[in-house]
Structure 1
Amino acid sequence: MINNQGRFRINDIGTDIHRSAREYYRTINDDFTSARGETLTESCFKRGDWNTEVYTRTTLSCTTDHFIVHAQLDAYENEYRVFLKTGKVL
């Protein structure tokens, strides 16, 4: 599933924005533990010499006893990574 909002501009504040998301889902036959969902997002904001980009990746899977969520957030300002966080929750 693709949700590409494209690029647009907020003229009142002179900011260019780009947003997109891709979602993937899969399962194998009747094996509910094979179910997996993944979402990838990209958000970019630019005004003058200020430029930020945020990327996320989230996956959801399961075992017979637990749901497993794995998430990553990666943020950049003017092409330099300023934040990265990865986490996993059962």
Structure 2
Amino acid sequence: MIDRPIEPPENIPKQPIEQKTPPPPPESFPEAPTSKIHNFKQYLIDKYKFSEHEANLFIQRMTQFVADQMRKEFAKMNKSIKDAFKEEDQ
């Protein structure tokens, strides 16, 4: 085993580290015209005469509702898993 610290060799040229600048963020993220959300929004506008703003709000609220339901289900699953491990430990 070596008792002294290992020093880097002097003959390796040090290259400057390039500072990469991130690309500027786009002004907006337009939805792809073939996306499912776009198709659904167009369906709401055509069939139910939603305005574009109403269709966006509907999709946003529906997405939030689904996310909340999933959180509740995962919390139930997590609790049942924890309870199962508690029973095993006893």
The TM-score bracket by the shorter chain reads under 0.3
> Which of the pair has the greater relative contact order for Cα pairs under 8 Å at 6+ separation?
1
Q: TM-score by structure 1 length? A: 0.20
Higher helix proportion (structure 1 or 2): 2
Q: TM-score by structure 2 length? A: 0.20
Q: Which has the larger radius of gyration?
A: 2
Higher strand proportion (structure 1 or 2): 1
